[in-house]
Amino acid sequence: MAIRLLFIFLFCFCKQSFSQNRKGMDRTPVNVSAQKNSETQQTLLLSRRQQAELVEQARQKQLFEQQKQALTKQERQLMELKIQKDQRELELEKKNAEQVAKQIQLQSRLREYVKDEEIKTKEKELLINKRWTFYLSLLFLIVIVFASVTFYNQRKTKRLNAVISAQHTELEEMGMVKDTLLGVVSHDMRTPVNSLLSFSELIKAGAISEEKMGLYLDQISVTLNQTSATMNNLLNWAATQMHGFNSTLIAVDMALVTEEIIELFADRAKAKKINIHNDIEIGFLAMADKNMVDLIVRNLLSNAIKYSSAHENILCSAKEVEGKIIFSVRDEGLGMEQEKINLFNASGKKPLKSTIGTAREKGTGLGLLLCKTFAALMHGNIQVAKNKNDKGLVFELTLPKAI
């Protein structure tokens, strides 16, 4: 700024000096004398002018100095103003920086506050979710327990109903068996005894001749054999119904047992002209009770003879299947209705109604019931099926193989 003012001052001074010189050059002398006088005057004027110019120059220099001082003072003032301005700007920047820092701090606090609030909200939601989860789990557990108890009670009720139904069925079957026993005792057992009493009275009275005596004795022998078999079946069945009746399982050779029973029924089979064959080889050992096996084979062979006609065959055989011994009695007799076969093969304990044999033999139906009961006590079973060409029957007794 001071240099600019100095430049302006010099420009004005040069312009004024140029103006004065031009005015002097514009005057034209009239004559020589006048020129000389004028020169003298000019010299004086020049000296005066020079003095005036010097004074003017001094004045201007002083003015310049004053202006320079004024400029310096203005520069100082400007510098001070600039410094003040810079200080103000620095203060403003500092204030702005402080405000920015405060804003950043406030924003940071706000973010922290928002974050804390979000964390608190999430914690609350998590706590609520945990409570809901606990309540739902508890409710689910209660439902499961209730369903389990209900299901268990239903199953228990079903089992109890099944047990009650089975017991009811068993009681009905036992009632039928008892009715059959009463019928056997009242009729089938009493009739042979009455016949023997009448025969003994006739013998005492001498009303029977010696010729008829042999025929009557044969009939009495057959009757006594049938009565003895019925009595054995009744006693054995009664024994199975007694508390604590158990089977004694030992290794039983089915070939030897079958041979003994065939010899027992040899006369009866010979009288009816029936052929009995034993195809069982020695060594077929079954884990069974000896007395029970005897009774089962005896009843099966007795029924086969009972329902067979003259010149028909009865075959006893055995085989091993998957660790089991299967003993079978195959006949060519009258056979059995399919309804009775299904009833016998069922798990019930209903006695089958006995039919009259080929020689008018009578029965009670307890024999096959006893066979089924004894087979179950020895962890086996017994089944019946029709023989080939629907002629006769095949009874199969399955027992565990002896090791």
Tokens of 29: 């002398």
Question: CA–CA separation, 336 vs 385, rounded Å?
Answer: 9
Question: CA–CA separation, 359 vs 336, rounded Å?
Answer: 17
Q: Which CATH class is domain 247-403?
A: alpha beta
Task: For residue 389, give the DSSP letter.
Answer: G
Per-residue pLDDT of the chain (403 residues; tens, 9 = 90+): 444 544 555 555 445 544 444 444 444 444 445 555 666 666 666 676 677 777 777 777 777 777 777 767 777 777 778 888 888 888 888 888 888 888 888 888 888 888 888 898 989 888 998 888 888 888 989 999 988 888 888 888 888 888 888 777 766 766 665 665 555 555 456 666 777 777 777 777 776 777 777 766 766 776 676 667 667 666 666 666 555 456 788 999 999 999 998 998 888 888 889 999 999 999 889 999 888 898 899 889 988 998 899 989 999 999 999 889 999 999 998 888 888 888 888 865 666 677 788 877 776 667 788 788 888 888 899 999 998 877 889 999 999 998 7
**What are 75-78's contacts with CB under 8 Å, separation 24+?**
75/1, 75/2, 78/1
Q: Are 341 and 384 in contact (CB under 8 A)?
A: yes
Going 323 to 329 to 330 to 334, the CA torsion angle's sign is: negative
> What type of residue is 55?
V
Tokens of 390: 């629907």
Sequence-distant (6+) residues with CB within 8 A of 230 are 184, 188, 189, 363, 364, 366
In total, the chain counts a number of residues equal to 403
Instruction: Domain ranges for the chain, please list them.
Output: 1-13+47-101, 140-182, 189-245, 247-403
0.95 exceeded by pTM: no
Please classify residue 270 by burial: count the beta carbons closer than 10 Å to its beta carbon, then call 0-12 exposed, 13-18 middle and 19+ buried: exposed
> Residue 121: in which H helix or E strand, if any?
helix 32-183
H-only helix segments in 281-321: 290-306
Question: CA–CA separation, 237 vs 178, rounded Å?
Answer: 11
Phi-psi region of 384 (alpha: psi -120 to 50; beta: other; left: phi over 0): beta
